[in-house]
Structures are given as structure tokens and as C-alpha cells.
A and B are shown apart, each in its own frame.
Chain A
Amino acid sequence: MQRLLGRLTALYRTTAVRLSAVYLLLFAACAAFLVFYVSSMSERLLQQQMHEAVAQEAGQIERIFDNSGMNGLLRTLERRARQPGANLYIIASPSGEVLAGNVAAIQPGVLDTEGWTDTPFRYQRYQEEARGTSRPMAYAQVIVLSNGLRVLVGRDLGEPETFRNLVRQALMVALGVMGVGALAIWYLIGRNALKRMDRMSDASQRIMAGDLSQRLPTSGSGDEFDRLSESLNTMLGRIEKLNEGLKQVSDNIAHDLKTPLTRLRNKAEAALAAGDVAEHRTALEEMIGESDQLIRTFNALLMISRVEAGQAPAEMSAVDISGIAHDSAELYEPVAEDAGLGLVTEIADGIEIKGNRELVGQALGNLIDNAIKYAEGSGGEPEIRVSLARRGGDVVLSVADSGPGVPGDKREEVVKRFVRLDASRSKPGTGLGLSLVGAVMEMHHGRLELDATHPGRENNRGLTVRMVFPVLPD
């Protein structure tokens, strides 16, 4: 019992049930209004009909009396009175004494006034007198014949009353059926909704318990529950991805920052052991350099996570990407030249994208920097190519080198934070350059493509990195 009550309370709390309760009430009120309206209208109609019938009969009685005298009238009335459901007839003397008719008793005073009785009156027929049933009600018209006799013609009110009762009964039955039906439907709908909500909250419980791979159930019907579940699932996917990134980053930070910190500590220790001031100085300078590198790594990390958090859309504006390409190429050209590499540009002018100049500039800088680092002394063509062109609806900014390249199966890997291929471990760098480029591309709703510059070659396939910016509608 208690359980059932609990379930009903829970049901009542669901929106669907509350809503249908409101609807039911509204509907019942409308139905009641309609039924009462119909019944009162038809009652009025019946009453009017009765009036007309009585008035007609009274007229007939007058005519019969005029044509065939008292005897004819009595004959006619006797015949009519015997018919089933007959009207009421009374013939009375001018003083009010009942002379003939089919009524045994009548409310006193009814016969005294000529014309319509104002209110219904009580009466009793002969047959009913014997049975002792309650006295029914009637309406009547009293006419005075030319010889002074009074004639009452009346009609029983039973018929409209029965009709009214019938209509009311029908209404009650209808309301009853409606109520039961609504309860049943509520229960089914509400329970269904409740079950789905329960499943959803179960799933959320599991997610809260730490299993981020859980997803909310969908029924596949595409209704509002499904839509809610789907958008929550998308959100969960994003959270999971961010969470994974976070985990990966903290793992990598722990691993990759331990090395320079250890180095820093060793240097301090060694300097402490050495007594010479000049040695101290050198050690301190080295330690500052080491710390700067660490700070640089942290800054790069922070930058990436900020860009990845996808904020600052306000900082996106129309930027001259051709200008950025020219500037960056010019900035790195001397470095390339010092490394024995030519920096060739193929930059289409006047291209604009919606973006952040700083970030695109830094991303391109990272790519050129990487290209110089890996192509230097690799034995390929000593050339780095920076190109900017439209491709279909996209704007493609690419940097191609002739270095050792990145094997196909590692291309996705190298974009991740701190991932450096074994071959590149000897080169300086934080392992974060491409990650930043990837994050910048994501912020610009674009993508990063990695490819071999010379796919056919064995050793110096080279790497081409393309930043593909979609042209966004304003």
C-alpha cells in the first residue's frame, strides 16, 4: 500500500501527469457546461411545446363546446382521458366544485384563476390515488366556457423531468468514464516517462560515480527525451575528451618536466659543491636558462589549453592571412638561410579569413620553425615552401619541407601534447608546437593535414603541414 502510494506520489510529481490533470479539469468543465446548456435548452423547448399543445387543446375544447354543446364536450374528454399519457382534464362549476375529469385531487386554488397557472402544481390521478405514489407536478390552463363552467387542461411535467434526469445521468457516466480513462492514460504515459527518467538518472549516477564513458539511453524515437539525451551525450563526449586531454597532459607534464627539473637540481647541487665564484656564476646562468625553458613549456601548455577551451570568440575578426603569411615568412627567412635552407613563398594576395591574427601567426611560426629544425642537414632539397591558396571553399596555408617526414601511422600522434618522435628527441623543443597549431585550427573550425612532401622517396619524404581554414559565413 505504502509503496503504491509512493509510486503515485512520484507519478504526480511528473510534469506529464500534472499537465494532464490540468487538461482533464479543463475538459470536464467544458463538458459539464455543454451538457447543462444542451439540457436546459431542450427543457425549454419541451416546455414550449407543452404550452402549445395545452393551448391548442384548450382552443379545441372551446370549439367543441360551441359546436356540440356540453354532451359533445364530455364525450370527447372522456375518450381523450382514456388514452395513455393523456392530458389532465377537469370540468368544474363556477364556484370551483369539480364536476368531471380524470384528476382525483389537485392543489387547492388552481382552478380559481383563469389562464395559465404561474407555477407547477401538484395533483393526483385516480389510479395513482390507490397506489399512494407521490403526487406529480403539472402545468395547466384554465378556461371559462360561455355557460360559466371552468375547464382545466393540464399536462404532466414528468416527461421533461425524465429527460433532464436522463441527460444528467449521461453526463455523470461520461465524466466517470473520462476520469477513469484519464487516470489510466496518466498512469501509462507518466510511468513510461518516469521509467525513462529513471534510466537517465541511473546513467547520470554512473557517470557521476566516475565512468565518463557512460551515455544516456535513447529510444530512437527522436522525441524530446531523445533530443535531451542526445545533447547531453554530446556534452558528455566533449567533457570526456577534455578530461582525457587533461589526464594525458598531467601524465605528460609529470613525465616530461621531471627531466629538466632533475637537471636543474643537479646543477644546483654541483654548483654548491664547487667552491669557485666563476663556477657559481656559470651554474646560475645555466639554471636561469633551464628555468626559462621550463617557463616556456608552461606558457605553451597554458596557451594550448586556453585555445582549446575555445574561448575568446570576440577576438576573432577578419584578418589578412596573406599578410600573416608574408610577415611570418619574412620573420623566419634569415633563420632558414642561416640553416642553409631557402625559404620559398607562394602566397596568394588579398585573402582574408575570420580568425585571430596572433594565434594564426604563432601557429604558422611554429610550423616554419619545425620545418627549419627538421629539414636542416637532412639531405633533402634545402628548401622550405610556404604557400597560401584557396582550395574549393577553403583557404589552405601550408608549410612543406624536405626533412625526414613523419610516417603515416604517426601523423595523428605527433599533434598530441609532448609527443616527439624518437628521431627528433635530440632537437630542441617542447613537443608542444604542433599541439598548439592543432588547437588553433580547432578554434578556427578548421583542420590540420599532415602529408608527405615527396611520397615516393625513401629517406627524405618531407613533411607538408596544411592548415585548412573553412570560409565561414559572417
Chain B
Amino acid sequence: MKILIVEDDLEAAAYLSKAFREAGIVLDHASDGESGLFLATENSYDVLVIDRMLPRRDGLSLITELRRRNIHTPVLILSALGQVDDRVTGLRAGGDDYLPKPYAFSELLARIEVLGRRKGTPEQDMVYRVGDLELDRLSHTVKRAGKEILLQPREFRLLEYLMKNAGQVVTRTMLLENVWDYHFDPQTNVIDVHVSRLRSKIEKDFDQPLLRTVRGAGYMMKDEAAG
């Protein structure tokens, strides 16, 4: 995966470069809006990470300009503003995800991986499969090894999101955002409790675990047997 980071804080950029390289992600860096626009137009990236406040051209105008030029690379907006309606204005300008500063690197990485992969996978898949677990989005049924598992509607959506992003780390905040449509810090372990209930339902009678807890980051759905 190759990403472009447009960030004027050089120290933060240097830290991100190192961290992303360790995570196996190739990275270009632009320190102002104009050079960011140039790079994003000239090269092809999987994800653009754009700070909202940039010299020479602010982040939102950069995104608007990219979309105007028919460049639809997924964009993650970083913002130190974090006002109540920042997310809305950011997404309205054409951003795909939004992360207020300060953020945990694991959170940023998880979101970028989900965004970068989004390009390739058709959303139209009607059945998600991980190992012997099968989720049918049309009939709203979940089966493991052919045996039906009964889930509450919210548990179904939770599993749906986890399976859609199978093989990717999904953070608690991402789950709260995508399954409950709330964008705040869940504070306590609310999400963990929901996940552990779901886990007990899909793993109770089976040896093979599918839903893994990634320490310090979140959860990952993965068929461990498949490697």
C-alpha cells in the first residue's frame, strides 16, 4: 500500500513515516497544500492523509480540488480543530474518514488500512465468509459450519462490519462509529462487552477462534487456520 501524508508538522510527519514504514506501508510526504495537490495529482496513492490546517492551501480546499479533478482516492482528514461540526464539514468536503488530533497511531493505521482496502473490494458482496463462518446480508442469517447462529440485530451489524473488514484491525471507535453511528470516545469498555458477547455466540461450540483481540488496538476477524 502506498499513501500520501500532507502534514506541515515535520516532527509528526517524521514519526508517521517511520511508523508506517515499519507497518509495511510506502509513504510520500508533502508539507503544504499546493505540493500535496501536485503529488496527489501526479502519482497514484491508495489513501491520502490530509491535515486540515496547511500552509498555502488548506486541507478542505485541497480535497475539494482533488474531487473536482476527478481524483477519488480515499481521504482521511486529520484535524486539531475537533469542533462539534468539524467532522461534518470535513466529510461534506469529500473526505472519507476523519480523525481528531491527538490520535493513537494504531487508530490511524487501522483506519488507513480499511480505507486502502475499500477501493478493491466490491461492497455488493451478499455473503461474507471467514473460515467456516458465513453471514448472509440479504436473509440476515449467520451460520457456522452450516449451523445457524441467532443474533440480535445489533450483534448482526457488529459481525457484519467485522467480517467486511476481515483481516484488518478494527478499533473500538471504528465500531462505535460504524455500528452505532456515534462519534465519541466510548470511555469504558462498552464495545468490549458487546464484542465478547458476540464472540461467545460465534465461538462457543467451536475450537477454532475467529475473532481476535489485538492488544492496544482493537479486534480482527481472521481465519487463523488459513494463515
Contact = CB atoms under 8 A, between A and B. Distances in A.
A356 to B, nearest CB: 7
Contacts of A300: 185
Contacts of A31: none
A334 B193 contact: yes
A315 B154 contact: no
A315 B92 CA distance: 13
B84 A311 contact: yes
Contacts of A312: 83-85
A250 interface: no
A292 B185 CA distance: 11
A288 B190 contact: no
A332 B102 contact: no
Contacts of B18: none
B84 A365 contact: no
A336 B187 CA distance: 14
A327 B187 contact: no
Main secondary structure of the interface of B (DSSP, over half): loop
B188 interface: yes
A442 B101 CA distance: 26
A366 interface: yes
B180 interface: yes
B104 interface: yes
A456 to B, nearest CB: 31
A358 B182 contact: yes
Interface residues of B toward A: which range?
Answer: 20 to 34
Given A327-B182, A335-B188, A366-B187, 19 more contacts: A285-B216, A288-B104, A295-B102, A299-B102, A299-B185, A300-B185, A311-B84, A312-B83, A331-B190, A331-B194, A334-B190, A335-B189, A356-B84, A358-B84, A358-B184, A365-B184, A365-B186, A365-B187, A365-B190
B2 interface: no
B55 interface: no
Interface in B78-121: 82-85, 88, 100, 102, 104
B183 interface: yes
B190 A335 contact: yes
A386 to B, nearest CB: 14
Contact of B190 (A315, A332, A361): A332
A271 B102 CA distance: 25
9 contacts: A295-B102, A295-B104, A299-B82, A315-B84, A315-B85, A334-B194, A338-B193, A358-B184, A365-B187
B201 interface: no
B185 A296 contact: yes
A57 interface: no
Nearest to B215: A285
Contact of B88 (A285, A307, A315, A369): A315
A315 B190 CA distance: 26
Contacts of A307: 84
A349 to B, nearest CB: 17
Given A312-B84, A338-B193, A358 B183 contact: yes
